[in-house]
Structure 1
Amino acid sequence: MIRFDRRIVTHFDFFQILLIIPIIALSYFLVSEVNATLASKQIVYFGIGFALFCLFFFIPLRRLEWFIPIFYWFNIVLLLSVEFFGISKLGAKRWLEIPFVHFTLQPSEIMKPAFLLMLAYLIKKNPPSENGYNLKDFLKLSFYILLPFFLIAKEPDLGTALVLLLVGYAVLFVIGVNKKIWICIFVSIGLCAPILYENLHDYQKKRITDFISEKPSYHVRQSIIAIGSGGMSGKAKDEATQTHFKFLPIATSDFIFAYTIERFGFYGAVAVFSLYGLLILHLLTLNYILKNDFFTQVMTTGIAVLIFIYVGVNVSMTIGYAPVVGVPLPFYSYGGSSFVTFMILFGMLQNLLTFRFDFAGNFIKINR
């Protein structure tokens, strides 16, 4: 007789699912209102994402820790390959074409789970002391953070590169690094800021110039109009003119938050913020029950910070408080790459939480 171990159910984190499903459902509802074709494609992305969630949930990550460095360096090779074999789109070379099937692959997206797994692997192998990591250990970990940062920034994809950089150092901040090191870093960033700005690409400088100028860009102006027209309770579908008359650009992805407020008003914005806020808070509070499980702590902290940055940047750019960059809302903006990446990350996290005891990976028992 074959039966599932009951401890899978008791240790599975259902609260994550209860927070993510409403975000996905509302996203599909809004996308289907704007474009039925995109909604049909989104269903396909949902199916792929769910399948990959299940796959990574059942992969015994703790038993395959030896494979993590291989996975990380394989992705570094893919990022290097973009320089020589990459496909250019809209002035950026970020994609690789898969032979024979003619699908494109964006290595920077695959790098996100590989990046977090590698940090988790390194920190588990060498956990911090009571005073945090010293300079030697900090520099060693920084190498694994800065290497993908420079490779992705060179594509150029400064947005994704900065996200990985911030996530990496936020994880180290939570895990523990000597305070003197942080002070030196902040002072150095302040002194080097003018040099860093001068080395940006022209289009990146333009985004910053548009951001600090008195008059926001066309996209941001239309977004602010859509947000303002939503009022407290929003508008009916036929009255959401900013979106349905195509004034609001990219209403299903980059500016879907503006369309959310146009449809559901201030109350809708509060609901979306509440779901994301509870999810981030829940992930961070898991660290208190994980204690010395540094591997899982890195994953929970990394995913929480990743969601926080994505939500913060996306919402800020829709209201004119950040430059317009292609940072989607997790599980909410239309598209496959971001959705699939987050489903993989949460599949890994659920695996680490559910199988974190001695029965890790043994999810089926056989009675004879």
Structure 2
Amino acid sequence: MSYLEYRVTTVPHGLRKVLHFNWGLLLLLAAVAGFGFLMLYSVSGGNIDRWSAPQMQRFGLGLVLMMIVAFVPIWFWRNMSVLAYGVSMLLLVLVEFMGATGMGATRWIDLGFMRLQPSELTKITLVMALAAYYDWLDIRKVSHPFQVLLPLILIALPMALVLRQPDLGTALLLAMGGGAVMWLAGVHWLYFAMVMLAGVGTVGAVMASRGTPWQLIKDYQFRRIDTFLDPSTDPLGAGYHITQSKIALGSGGWTGRGFMQGTQSRLNFLPEKHTDFIFTTLAEEFGFLGGISLLSLYALIILFCFASGLRNRDRFASLLTLGIASAFFLFFAVNMSMVMGLAPVVGVPLPLVSFGGSAMLVLMIAFGLVQSAHIHRPRQGGR
């Protein structure tokens, strides 16, 4: 045992947890959130109280929640996984009966001091439940047809409830996030090939249902597909968002127009500039260099999580960390693809940057789980 290792093992248990805390990951999260504060200040025209200050308060609360979650032993969160999934499902059911409606969708529960979006919570509790299931299951049985059925049910139930809100983007993220955990757990690739074939068939059925009594998705969702394929067909209607987004992205060039100098956001050409399309404001004001800087921070967060997860010898903790990292990747990848015109507009916020309470707090709790797995992972000599 080295001198440094000896010193770590002789410090009090509580202080040892602080020493094992992944401070690099925390700094990266703060840096990404800082991008968000800066851009929210910009799109509000220099009014810090409108969006930036509330976002700072939420991030501060999120930090407290992350610390609390982080210092609780990971075995506790393993035992709570099924309950957490059940609570999130109950909240999704409550949205059906007492949900608050906004912009044509019923996705929130009004708590008075904030509006909670249960589908955001479900993105994480689903990963927890699947990680706990595969931790319990014999690794030799992960690809048995019967053992694959339960995870599919766990994924399909929240997807069905979220699609009723309707929220196609979150439903797709639930499917992809759950599928990522199944892949990481070692489920055979043939199952994923079958799902992809079924997906192609579903897309065909959805397109064939258009204009029929059994139409499978809403008219506005069909318009989003049309806009994705050819935004110029309705540049002032359904194609307006993506057309203005591309103008903002292109006008930024390499270094951007300068802070608070973006014409698309300052002149209100860009809709949802503080939520789903905030990345285009960043790209317009700070250019390619600003966009790639944010993307690099995201990549480092993923790298930190994967490095921690792959070194963790606890199967639940490892799957949980890798699953949350995969879900986080999907969040920003889908948003950036959407605003660049590489994917249909499905209303997915940019993590830690877009204005929003539920998404911010849930993500900070999720990274608290990652920290808990990191702090309490089995170490040589019991450190």
TM over 0.5: yes
**2:194 alignment counterpart:** 184
Distance 1:75 1:66 in 2: 16
SS of 2:109's equivalent? strand
Q: 2:101 aligns with which of 83, 88, 108?
A: 88
Q: 1:109 aligns with which of 96, 102, 120?
A: 120
**2:70 alignment counterpart:** 57
The count of residues paired between Structure 1 and Structure 2 equals: 356
Identity of aligned residues (%): 34
SS of 2:271's equivalent? coil
Contact 2:260–2:285 (CA<8 Å) still a contact in 1?
no
Partner AA of 1:313 in structure 2: V
**2:92 alignment counterpart:** 79
Distance 2:374 2:162 in 1: 30
**1:19 alignment counterpart:** 28
Partner AA of 1:322 in structure 2: A
What's the CA shift for 1:246? 1.5
Deviations 1:205-251 (CA, angstroms, capped at 9, x unpaired): 11111111251611212121112121111122353222212122222
Listed as ranges, the gaps of 5+ residues in structure 1 are 364-368
Q: 1:303 aligns with which of 319, 324, 327?
A: 324
**1:268 alignment counterpart:** 290
**2:8 alignment counterpart:** none
SS of 1:237's equivalent? coil
What's the CA shift for 1:279? 1.7
Partner AA of 2:171 in structure 1: A
Partner AA of 1:124 in structure 2: D
**1:349 alignment counterpart:** 370
Distance 1:64 1:201, change over 3 A: same
Contact 1:128–1:177 (CA<8 Å) still a contact in 2?
no
SS of 1:94's equivalent? strand
What's the CA shift for 1:55? 2.0
Distance 2:224 2:114 in 1: 30
SS of 2:353's equivalent? coil
**1:366 alignment counterpart:** none
Q: 1:211 aligns with which of 206, 228, 244?
A: 228
Distance 2:341 2:205 in 1: 25
Distance 1:125 1:247, change over 3 A: same
Distance 2:77 2:365 in 1: 16
Distance 2:14 2:51 in 1: 40
SS of 1:301's equivalent? helix
Distance 1:180 1:277 in 2: 29
Distance 1:64 1:14, change over 3 A: closer
What's the CA shift for 1:6? 4.6
Distance 1:105 1:177 in 2: 34
Distance 1:90 1:26 in 2: 26
Q: 1:120 aligns with which of 120, 125, 131?
A: 131
Q: 2:53 aligns with which of 40, 55, 66?
A: 40
What's the CA shift for 1:10? 4.2
**2:256 alignment counterpart:** 234
Distance 1:110 1:214, change over 3 A: closer
**2:212 alignment counterpart:** none
The 5 A counterparts of 1:311-330 are: 311-330=332-351
Distance 1:271 1:51, change over 3 A: same
Q: Does 248-257 or 58-67 show the bigger shift?
A: 58-67
Q: Does 322-331 or 350-359 show the bigger shift?
A: 350-359
Distance 1:208 1:41 in 2: 34
What's the CA shift for 1:11? 2.7
Q: Which has the higher contact order (CA 8 A, sep 6+)?
A: 1
